[in-house]
Structure 1
Amino acid sequence: MKNKQWFHQQITYLKEGSQTVFSIKDNLKELGALTTKEYGLLALMLLATILSSVLSGGLGTTMGIITLVCSIATALNLILIDRGFITNYIWGILAALVWLIIAFENRLFGDIASQLYYFVMQFIGIIEWQKSKSQRHSDFVESKSINKTMAAIMTVVTIVVYLFIVYTSYQLGGNQVWLDAALLPLALVAQLLMTYGYKSQWIVWIIINALNVVIWSIQLSQTDSSSTVSMLVLQIVMLINSLYGAYVWYKQAQ
């Protein structure tokens, strides 16, 4: 009976959260609640990605347009996560789907697995963030601290998954296997921490984004395409954003 009640409660949270996430009115409301500093950061991310697409001639190709859509969706997703606003998930869903296409095009199997995971976790995130909002009667999710036991378990899981992805990527003939393989295990940890509102997620996002800057820099040296240039610029602005996100969430936790 308890399991049935729990399941129905999760469905209720998903419905309530989705009404906000997919509402144009609520998206505009939460975007309108950003600070001047956050508008500046959002403008920087959007300007950097759009300029890189234009200057590299990316808007003249299908992949270039797809990459630009991914960049815009990711920028909006990130700035809303910074503030703990649940509407980030509509942009997270779009970004994961589009990024999946880009990862397939570049044969980055660790990235492919990461984006599939991100996509599924968006809906779990809607449930958990709506639950946090409802229980706290707040417009944003609570910033929490992780305990030592959870940190130890996540470290072990990260190492095991990493070694498995390295082996699988080698078998599939993937690119930049040792670097690319790190993305999925780190993504597992970062997205879980984000979903349940832990501030330490930002430490992992900083590592992921720094790795992605290296990966896409190497990718650019191997395949000089407009979409690759745009993706590299996107990784750089994501790294900048993750530093700001860490500042906001750790400050909120204090």
Structure 2
Amino acid sequence: MFTGWTMFEKIWLITFTGITVYLFFAWQDSLIGLISSISGMLCVVLVAKGKVSNYYFGMVQTSTYAYIAYTYSLYGESMLNALFYLPIQFIGIYLWRKNRTANSVSGEDVSVKKLTKSGWLYVALIAVAASLLYAEILAAIGGQQVRIDSVAVVLSIIAQILMLKRYAEQWVLWIVVNALTITLWIIVLVETGGNDWSMLVMWTAFLFNSIYGYLNWLKLAKKQGEKKQEVA
């Protein structure tokens, strides 16, 4: 699971884990917040590396984060994680193991695909329509920050589907999702006086990782394309 890590990946993980642990003691953060944050960071960095093992940490992160989001009335975030992300982890393990590359490390590197222009058009149309509809649903059940929550949830679902199908462009959506979710948590924590600041650290780490993940997956797609040409 931890073979082939670059110095950047090691520094990234150690730095954000250290900040999270510090906040846990300094600001009396919740234990479940600490667990969710650390498991989430392990999950996303393993996704960026194309490792199937990301889904095991994803199971822990999605279940704990769903509960935390629920306590802050972020119903969109809570439902997304409990009803979609958590069960999708098991599907992800199956699909990624089924699509390993021939030269995988420990059998965990997957083949990467790229989205077409028509694919991007479908993604944009679905995202706009679904975001508008879901915002109305969240408003009806008394959710907080429904517009930001709605867009973040819809883009997250689309990005997760692209991730299951191994498209590099998933990372573009994750960058937007992470930026929106950081904004969402800043607003909620300030308004409620909550102490789960590790959630903010976690999403900031996710944002940095999504940028790195996009660059790394483009690199993987290029390398895999060159190897296919060599074989042909």
User: What TM-score, normalized to structure 2?
Assistant: 0.89
The amino acid that maps onto 1:169 is L
Deviation of 1:85 (Å) = 0.6
- Per-residue CA shift, 1:141-177, capped at 9, x if unaligned? 1221011222222222212221121111111111011
* Partner residue of 1:242 out of 204, 207, 210: 210
Distance 1:240 1:151 in 2: 23
Deviation of 1:77 (Å) = 0.4
Say whether 1:45 aligns with 2:29. no
Paired-residue identity, %: 30
Match of 1:160 in 2: 129
Deviation of 1:48 (Å) = 1.8
Say whether 1:118 aligns with 2:82. no
Distance 2:52 2:113 in 1: 16
Distance 1:208 1:37 in 2: 23
Following superposition of structure 1 onto structure 2, how do residues 71-220 of structure 1 map, counting pairs within 5 Å? 71-115=37-81, 116-133=83-100, 136=102, 138=104, 139=107, 140-220=109-189
- Per-residue CA shift, 1:206-242, capped at 9, x if unaligned? 0000001111111121122221x11112111111111
User: What TM-score, normalized to structure 1?
Assistant: 0.82
- Per-residue CA shift, 1:84-126, capped at 9, x if unaligned? 0101110011111101101110111221222121112212211
Distance 1:183 1:100 in 2: 14
Checking the alignment, whether the CA contact within 8 Å between 2:189 and 2:195 is kept in structure 1 is no
- Per-residue CA shift, 1:10-34, capped at 9, x if unaligned? xxxxxxxxxxxxxxxxxxxx12332
Say whether 1:253 aligns with 2:218. no
Distance 1:141 1:68 in 2: 30
Distance 2:56 2:3 in 1: 16
Checking the alignment, whether the CA contact within 8 Å between 1:80 and 1:87 is kept in structure 2 is yes
Runs of 4 or more consecutive aligned structure 1 residues displaced over 6 Å after TM superposition: none
The secondary structure found in structure 1 opposite 2:189 is: helix
Task: Please identify which structure carries the higher helix content.
Answer: 1
The secondary structure found in structure 1 opposite 2:14 is: helix
Distance 2:91 2:168 in 1: 18
Distance 1:226 1:132 in 2: 41
The amino acid that maps onto 2:33 is T
Match of 2:227 in 1: none
Deviation of 1:137 (Å) = 5.4
Checking the alignment, whether the CA contact within 8 Å between 2:37 and 2:202 is kept in structure 1 is yes
Say whether 1:65 aligns with 2:36. no
More divergent stretch after superposition (115-124 vs 69-78): 115-124
Checking the alignment, whether the CA contact within 8 Å between 1:209 and 1:239 is kept in structure 2 is yes
Checking the alignment, whether the CA contact within 8 Å between 1:180 and 1:215 is kept in structure 2 is yes
The secondary structure found in structure 2 opposite 1:181 is: helix
